[in-house]
Structure 1
Amino acid sequence: MEPKELRPIVAGLFTRARRRTVQVAVEQEFLVADSTTGAVVPIERVRQAAAAATATPYVGFEPGGQLELSLPCTTDPVTQVCTLTDDLQRHLAADHISIYALPVDPRPEHEVPLQLVTPRYVAMHRHFDSIGPAGRRMMRRTASTQVCLDWWPGRAGAEQWRVLNLAGPFLAAAFARSSGPHGRLTTWLDTDPARTGFDDRLLYGDDPVAAYTDFAAGATVFTTGGPVEHLTTLFPPVRPRSTYLEVRFLDVQEPHAIGEVVSALTSLVYDDDRRRTALRALEPERAHLADHWRSAAAGDAATAARGHELVPEVELVA
């Protein structure tokens, strides 16, 4: 796709907020299984079982039937996620359905089919299959905790974008709950590097819109919905969402542990001194980001230790 088609739409993804706010929203994914047989549960059955739950307005699904809670902004994400999850689990249990905060589904691939068969997902599945097995594993058998953070105007907003991208591999390693060849992060790294960008391509030059436009233009087009739909098929570790930034690089966390994730991310993004200190330390690593992501995916202890150093007052998961 031509950069000139993409750039005005990409620019809209980088508009940023008009003032500084410090809101947080969490998107929490879960694997789903029949609590009696362990089998995959059809999405419609999950919908019906969850119909009376308090969390129902926030329930969505990933291609393999993973359940996602896309929650509104709050000052207390741990209480929010735990309360809604507990209530949701009670309703699902009545229909013998369980949900699990596991980053990779232990069930074999043939037992976890593609449940969302919209043209977009079918085309995506076909494209990823042309590269290797990681794409179908990513779509159908992985789960993440994603954190959405307010994106500020001016210099601070530019710093937020850079620090999250630069700190990504280290924080991913610090919070990792899977690693190795079949870990969640390895799966993402192997899915389609041209549309995931787990290297320094998103930080090229001084114009993030230009860098992101080039990234988008370099990814294979497999949908028919034009540039807007094409941009939805990109999966960078940090996604620009106009007025907020969506952190996507974390393994799914247990609900009670989400506060540690939020504390680490907000301390980097919303604290001017810490953000700038981290940037000074991380900028020399930009050219080595691809190596750092691979080290994080492999479970490298030194990479995880660097994540601890970035937010020393936050007690990270070992």
Structure 2
Amino acid sequence: MPQELPGGRDRAVTEPEVEALVHGICFKTGPPRCTGAELEWLVLDSAHPDHPVSPERLEAAHAAVGALPLQSRLTVEPGGQLELSSLPAASLMECIDGLDSDLTAVRAALGALGLTLHGLGHDTRQPVGPRILRHPRYEAMETFFDRTGPAGRQMMRATASVQVCLDAGYEEPGPLGHGRRWRLSHLLGAVFVSAFANSPAPAGPYAGWRSARQGVWTDLDGRRTLAPPLDGDPRTVWTRHALDTDVMCVRARDGQPWDVPEGLTFREWVRAGGPRPPTAADLDYHLTTLFPPVRPRGHLELRMIDAQPGEDGWMVPVAVAAALFDDLEASETAYRAVKGLGDRAGPRPAPRNPLWLAAARHGPADPDLRAVAVTCFRAAVQALPRMGASGRVRDAVAAFEDRYVSRGRCPADELYDRYQHGEGPRT
């Protein structure tokens, strides 16, 4: 829950107060206990998956799915993508079982309408489709991102991901301490980009990339999607990064258009007090408009993984990430494996440093990333039985390792093979 201030969250705040608020809520430390996931999906026509789906059909689908009694939170993305967000779960299997049950219900509802969920990181079948959501948030977001090029509309309307949410870790140093988990997430994040790359681009600015979705995020505005420096206290560097990032919008009431200031950081907004004095609620909202590859929201939100193919594909990154962060032995193995990647990353922040760009462009064809992926997947496979993972989950991870990781391939490679034979998306 957001930290409370005397006088409520709708009164004007001072600079020391906003620094204290961000510093206090970004990392909630303690024993790693909870797992969560957010699954984004493209919605395709079952019979003609390479054809666009009209806004009217998408709206009917959203209404049908929205009437279901789901455990997860259902949201609609600006291009019509569907997202299921699990509740914080006390175990890996509680998280997976809850999402799997909801997905079964969602697929059945969509199937009755001739539609299907499709796991693909970037929809390149057509020019960017219409934005079907008219909420002021998305009007403002589009205006903001249009200032720096077309990547914002691509991100909003044509991308999908698997996001994994894990506890920040202990306050104290050590294998499960929040400082090391923060660093691990940024180095292992590049490995996840490469291993789970599933957004090939046959043409355009990302032609040949294994993760065009990652290319889109790389090309968004120059600070909002970047990681902060990793060479300081995580709370301090994130607080500075968050407050020195431009405000995307200033919300208005009564249905009025939201203001989209240009070149105004949150810190400057607090100091200047205009266009109106910011409140703690404005700070809460500002933090939701920051999109780094790892976002601290009390827990760690891993945002770099493309949506995955097949009915069970999404389970693999959720299970592998949970194993490599929360199983002590696997976490030690992963940290030793990724430490050497720090030199390749260099001083530039993710996702714009050489390591992350190599992961997005080449996937596990990059020999360093492939070697680390092999080590980490083996550690995850060994850890999953200790974590109580079901046979279905263990089989899905083992099959992914055999089909892709051990061969230096990723799901995008299979899609490129299909494109070479003139085939479109397969649902």
* TM-score bracket relative to the smaller structure: 0.7 to 0.9
Aligned to 1:236: 292
More helix by share: 1
Aligned to 2:386: none
Contact 1:54 1:88 in 2 (8 A): no
Per the TM alignment, residue 251 of structure 1 is displaced from its structure 2 partner at its CA by 0.4
Please list, as runs of the form range in 1=range in 2, the aligned pairs for 1:170-209 lying within 5 A after superposition: 170-179=191-200, 181=206, 183-198=212-227, 201-205=228-232, 207-209=233-235
C-alpha RMSD of matched pairs (Å): 2.6
Aligned to 2:114: 96
Q: List per-residue Cα deviations over 1:3-36 (Å, max 9, x = no partner).
A: 7564223213334144x24332221111123446
Structure 1 pair 191–304 and aligned structure 2 pair: CA distance change class (3 A): farther
Gaps of 5+ in 2: 1-13, 252-281, 346-352, 382-397, 405-427
Distance 2:178 2:140 in 1: 35
Aligned to 2:417: none
The amino acid that maps onto 2:313 is A
Please list, as runs of the form range in 1=range in 2, the aligned pairs for 1:58-207 lying within 5 A after superposition: 58-72=73-87, 73=89, 75-76=92-93, 77-110=95-128, 112-154=129-171, 155=173, 156-179=177-200, 181=206, 183-198=212-227, 201-205=228-232, 207=233
Aligned to 2:33: 22
Distance 1:86 1:261 in 2: 19
Aligned to 2:372: 306
- Of 122-131 and 89-98, deviating more is 89-98
Per the TM alignment, residue 61 of structure 1 is displaced from its structure 2 partner at its CA by 1.1
- Work out whether 1:220 is the aligned partner of 2:246: yes
Q: Secondary structure at the match of 1:27?
A: strand
Q: List per-residue Cα deviations over 1:188-207 (Å, max 9, x = no partner).
A: 11122411115xx34132x1
Per the TM alignment, residue 66 of structure 1 is displaced from its structure 2 partner at its CA by 0.7
Q: Secondary structure at the match of 1:248?
A: strand
TM-score under structure 2 length normalisation:
0.66
Aligned to 2:277: none
Of 283, 297, 306, which aligns to 1:251? 306
Q: Which protein has the larger Cα radius of gyration, Structure 1 or Structure 2?
A: 2
The amino acid that maps onto 1:13 is I
Aligned to 1:279: 335
Q: Secondary structure at the match of 1:50?
A: helix
Structure 1 pair 190–261 and aligned structure 2 pair: CA distance change class (3 A): same
Per the TM alignment, residue 128 of structure 1 is displaced from its structure 2 partner at its CA by 1.3
Aligned to 2:317: 261
Q: Secondary structure at the match of 1:275?
A: helix
Per the TM alignment, residue 78 of structure 1 is displaced from its structure 2 partner at its CA by 4.3
The amino acid that maps onto 1:26 is A
Contact 1:186 1:297 in 2 (8 A): yes
Structure 1 pair 57–280 and aligned structure 2 pair: CA distance change class (3 A): closer
Structure 1 pair 65–295 and aligned structure 2 pair: CA distance change class (3 A): same
Aligned to 1:39: 53
Gaps of 5+ in 1: none
Structure 1 pair 216–179 and aligned structure 2 pair: CA distance change class (3 A): farther
Distance 1:228 1:236 in 2: 16
Distance 2:248 2:192 in 1: 32
TM-score under structure 1 length normalisation:
0.86
Structure 1 pair 259–48 and aligned structure 2 pair: CA distance change class (3 A): closer
Aligned to 2:262: none
The amino acid that maps onto 1:191 is L
Aligned to 2:70: 55
Aligned length: 311
Contact 1:62 1:68 in 2 (8 A): yes
Q: Secondary structure at the match of 1:196?
A: coil
The amino acid that maps onto 1:246 is E
Per the TM alignment, residue 163 of structure 1 is displaced from its structure 2 partner at its CA by 0.7
Q: Secondary structure at the match of 1:191?
A: coil
Structure 1 pair 94–24 and aligned structure 2 pair: CA distance change class (3 A): same
Per the TM alignment, residue 264 of structure 1 is displaced from its structure 2 partner at its CA by 1.9
Distance 1:286 1:214 in 2: 22
The amino acid that maps onto 2:238 is Y
